[in-house]
Amino acid sequence: MSKGEIPIRKDAFELDLMRRAGKIVGEGLALLRSRVRAGMTTLDLDAIFEKHVRDAGAVPTFKGYRGFPASLCVSINEEIVHGIPSASRVLKDGDLLKLDAGATYKGYVGDSAVTVAPDAFSSRRVESPSDAQRVCPMP
């Protein structure tokens, strides 16, 4: 903020809309965590999230933003962030999955990300960061 600029404060109504946008994203990420399985594609996950967002009366924030083609960013293993979902990206047991999601509700954006460790959809359990390095070693 520059000198002399007055901070913008949100009223209770605006804060409620922001909270609702965040809740839609949080519920969508929880839904994805519960549904992710080996054999699914990253495009399957994108479709699940987009349906959830639209059913909640919001729109996927990322879809169309600067040409981004999907509703969700999905990165696997060594990929850092902003992976583009694809029908050819099939999840395997032991994959470390990063999900980044956004929803716009009545003009307000909720945006969050989670990492789904291999134990979420595999028999291999990760107990500590060193275990994760053994399961998904860095090249």
**Pairwise CA distance, residues 76 & 41, whole Å:** 11
Read off the tokens for 95: 């994959």
The predicted model gives 90-101 an average pLDDT of 93
As a whole-number percent, the residues of the chain with pLDDT over 90 amount to: 72
Sequence ranges of the domains in the chain: 12-135
* Alpha carbon distance 20, 23 (integer Å): 5
CA dihedral sign of residues 90, 82, 120, 138: positive
The identity of residue 92, as a single letter, is K
- pLDDT tens-place string over residues 38-76: 999 999 999 999 999 999 999 999 999 999 999 999 999
Identify the CATH homologous superfamily for domain 12-135. Creatinase/methionine aminopeptidase superfamily (3.90.230.10)
**Which residues on adjacent β-strands are paired with residue 109?**
104
